[in-house]
Chains A and B, each alone.
Chain A
Amino acid sequence: MSASHNHPAPAPLGGPLWTPTTKILAALVAIAGVILLVRFIFGLGAVTNINDGYTWGIWVVYDVVIGSAFACGGYSVALLVYIFNKGEYHPMVRPALLASLFGYTLAGAGVIFDLGRYWNFWHIFWPGYAQPNSVMFEVAVCISAYIVVMWIEFSPAFLEKLGMKDVKKKLNKLLFFIIALGTLLPSMHQSSLGSLLVVFGYQVHPLWQSILLPLFYLMTALTIGFAVVIFEACLSSSGFKRPLEMHLLGKLSKVMLGMLAAYLVVRFGDLLVRGALLSMFVPGIEALMFWVETALFVAPLVLLWKEQSRRQPARLFIAASSLMLAGFILRINSFLVGYETGPGWHYFPSVSEIMVSIGMIALEVLGYIVLVRYLPIMSGNSESAAVAANK
């Protein structure tokens, strides 16, 4: 256990702010901002295609449900490092936390602009209004609490920058509790994002409707969390020209595969027990998308089965991407493809709707780049820091 902290301390990357990349990202964010302005002036219908048959479109399903799942890197890594005491993954904590922080904060923002009567948002927390039987109540309270916890969890990074060492020390004393909360809360709300679907009953296709939905969503959130860490490590390495920590990622992928295998057992076991297995052979869009989803979940197992494969970064990256896409498709399938309130309804996001989601992603990436350059997040070494500074 003693060797766990022999990694270089995190440091700001430095480097220029305005690069072609950041300029494009900023433009996408600006476009999204304009569209949101129209949304607030004229209403949701002016910029989205949501309707009463598909009242939750991609702003809910992508920005909130999927976006928060993709933001589970911090959750998964914190679980590994602080609960399972795998200190060797410690250098991944801060970057993962940052990505999580952004992901969740933007998911929260995404909720606000999807809400029709957003000015009443505080009702969810207010006794007298709050309705605890509602799954959404629990999701909202939990996510809000988690965002606060994550900001606190992340505060050492900017406390350091601000040079407030005393505050940082005091905070460190309570960090264990913050971390415990930061592990409990996502377990609750990531599973509850799946629970949201239970009340829809027959409206969700048998291939996705199950009392075990919370378990599926929790397990996939964890798995995606690991995948996201791998994915973002690859991206960061490539983007900032930094070495890729293969030994860590290789080991991480084993954990990820274990969780993935467990998930697949539970998922297909549930389909079998409920007698819904045969639905996947009934021709139609639902069966097709189910096969796509399943293929994407199984692919990483195939790709990374051998020890040797886990040492190939390209394979790791593809497997991680496949898993993220699988989680994405699972949520798209449960909320949209497999959801039917009645015949005759059609939905596909409008151009402006898509541009807002793209803008949100752009904001996340832009924010990540900016913060990583200014705050001590990435685990630096002097050579790479110099390289990054000259970029």
Chain B
Amino acid sequence: MSISRRDFLKGALAGGAMLATAAPAEARENLTMPDEALGLLYDSTLCIGCKACVAACKDVNDMPPEFSSESQLWDTPLDISGKTLNVIKVYQDGNSATKDSEKDGFAYMKVSCLHCVDPSCVSACPVSAMTKDPVTGIVGYDKDACIGCRYCVAACPFGVPRFQYDTPLPQISKCQLCKHRIGEGKYAACAEVCPTGATLYGKVKTLKAEAKRRVALKPGEETSFPRGNLDTHDQSPHTAKAAKYLPQVYGEKEVGGTQMLKLSAVPFEKLGMPTLPERSYAATSETMQHTLYGNALALPLAFLGVLTYVAKRNVKHHDDADDSKE
């Protein structure tokens, strides 16, 4: 018995179409954030571009300096990389005269891991080198598990994980929210050293409340800005006037939410933060995989069953023919 080619193709296409419009029962929704998730609040309007966070991060993570000029005098990274986990970038327009002005102004943006609630890197990693802590939600990297395939580098919608191309024993490099300092009772160095409180550390729910409070302020309204750890209040706040915030907390919904939230007066796209849908790409990719291979490989095994049956019957013919010749 053989299936006619026409029937097979028809069946394949029909099957494919059915899979493409897979039943919602298979759809994987965005992951939810752990209740005690830790994160950062970065306020671009408070940032003065002093790069204390860049230096502190290098220090506590033992990263080497990165040079971008001929006179290699001090650490001057231009982007996060295999040697740099955190960098401050500047947006400039026209004569760059006014801070936080979209036109003829300048503004800063911190570039480091956003610790997504539903990370693409964790979904992509084939060997569980990228993991999401179930309590703190910190996205961690384990070099001992890593195979260096760089799928995480390609998958991250923010382009965060970086790779060390210049060594025979490379690693992936990305911020891990100073999780190695938690045991010592410390927290993220960038938040600890920030002089203006532009980078704030704490539980994401507390940070989110603070972010919403700021966005609701009137531009020019004087208010108190905390510094350091928002939950322990380990540093004195300072008083300043609120900037003209965009009514958006970046990271609230983007690809299912991130644990580093951002505030800005200049549109986020111009500061290098992409506009992203609410549904995480991990959810889309895993829905597809589960549809095709879920339920303990139900579909492939069924397909294998059909193929085995057909092959057995056809191969038998050839075998008999072969044997009869020998």
A residues lining the B interface (CB < 8 Å): 1-2, 4-5, 9, 40-46, 48, 50-53, 55-56, 81-85, 87, 90, 114-118, 120-121, 123-124, 128-131, 133-138, 140, 172, 175-177, 179-181, 183-184, 187-188, 191, 195-196, 198-203, 211-212, 214-215, 255, 258-259, 262, 266, 339, 341-342
Contacts and interface: CB of A to CB of B under 8 A. Distances in A.
B125 A134 contact: yes
Contact of B170 (A56, A116, A124): A116
A138 to B, nearest CB: 7
A341 B126 contact: no
A176 B127 contact: no
Contacts of A130: 126-128
Nearest to A137: B126
B16 interface: yes
A45 B166 contact: yes
B5 A84 contact: yes
Interface of B: 2-3, 5, 8-9, 13, 16, 20, 79, 81, 120, 123-128, 143-151, 153-157, 159, 162-171, 255, 272, 274, 276-277, 281-282, 284-286, 288-289, 292-293, 300, 303-304, 307-308, 310-312, 314-319, 321-322, 325
B320 to A, nearest CB: 10
Given A176-B308, A176-B316, A212-B20, A131 B166 contact: no
Contacts of B311: 82-83, 176-177, 179-180, 183
Contacts of A84: 2-3, 5, 8
23 contacts: A5-B318, A40-B168, A52-B79, A83-B314, A116-B146, A117-B148, A117-B169, A121-B147, A123-B127, A129-B128, A134-B124, A175-B319, A176-B308, A180-B307, A188-B300, A195-B285, A198-B288, A199-B124, A201-B255, A203-B154, A211-B288, A341-B154, A342-B159
Contact of A184 (B274, B282, B304): B304
A50 B165 CA distance: 8
A179 B315 CA distance: 9
A137 B274 CA distance: 28
A184 B303 contact: yes
Contacts, number: 223
Contacts of B168: 40-43
B126 A45 contact: no
B303 A135 contact: no
B322 A135 contact: no
A142 to B, nearest CB: 10
Contact of A43 (B8, B154, B170, B286): B170
Contacts of A42: 166-168
Contact of B148 (A48, A115, A129): A115
B159 A341 contact: yes
Contacts of B321: 2, 4-5
B240 to A, nearest CB: 32
Interface residue SS majority, chain B:
helix
Contacts of A124: 126-127, 147
B122 to A, nearest CB: 8
Among A53, A183, A258, which residue has the most Cβ atoms of chain B within 10 A?
Answer: A183
B274 A202 contact: yes
Given A120-B146, A199-B282, A211-B284, A134 B126 contact: yes
A4 B318 contact: yes
Given A52-B163, A184-B300, A200 B307 contact: no
B20 A201 contact: no
Contacts of B5: 84, 255, 258
A203 B307 CA distance: 37
A44 B149 CA distance: 12
Among A40, A45, A87, A199, which residue has the most Cβ atoms of chain B within 10 A?
Answer: A199
B113 to A, nearest CB: 14
Nearest to A5: B321
The 4 closest A-B pairs by CB, nearest first: A116-B148, A45-B165, A117-B148, A201-B281
B170 A201 contact: no
A353 to B, nearest CB: 12
B326 to A, nearest CB: 9
Given A52-B153, A115-B147, A87 B284 contact: no
B9 A258 contact: yes
